């Protein structure tokens, strides 16, 4: 068994210093602190992205949809789904990516193999 007390883990530097809790072939878990006004701009990932609001309040956006996320909210984004999130007052989120890395994550490279040019 592995366990983490998310509320006790410090995330200094906000979104610029995510804390990787666990990274394995099946998934990656990352704790991200968001300082007031910080967010993760419009982006997409190759994995299923699951986001849990651990502390604070987060506004999620995907396409034309926007969702307010208080503590305890769980949101899932599909692979390649463009999305963003922000926190006006600050927050802490748990991000889980599965599988890790997703197909195509290494853009033109096989996992662990560098292509010759």
Helix (H, G, I), strand (E, B) or coil at 91: strand
Percent of all residues in the chain with a pLDDT value above 90, rounded to a whole number: 61
CATH topology of domain 19-98: Jelly Rolls (2.60.120)
Output the pTM of the full model: 0.81
Band the pLDDT of 104: cuts 50, 70, 90: low
Q: Does residue 44 have a pLDDT over 70?
A: yes
Could you tell me the residue ranges of all domains in the chain?
A: 19-98
- For 21, 45, 95, the CA distances from 82, given in Å and listed in that order, are 24, 8, 15
Which pLDDT score, from 0 to 100, does residue 100 have? 74
Check residue 93 and give its pLDDT: 96
């Amino acid at each position: 068994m592995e366990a983490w007390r998310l509320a006790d883990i410090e995330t200094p530097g906000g979104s610029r210093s995510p804390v990787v809790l666990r990274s394995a072939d099946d998934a990656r878990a990352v704790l991200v602190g968001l300082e007031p006004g910080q967010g993760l701009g419009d982006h997409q990932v190759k994995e299923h992205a699951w986001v849990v609001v651990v502390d604070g309040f987060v506004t999620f956006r995907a396409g034309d949809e926007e969702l307010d996320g208080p503590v305890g909210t769980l949101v899932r984004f599909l692979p390649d789904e463009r999305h963003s999130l922000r926190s006006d007052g600050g927050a802490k989120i748990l991000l889980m990516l599965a599988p890790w890395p997703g197909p195509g994550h290494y853009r033109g490279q096989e996992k662990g193999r560098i292509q010759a040019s």
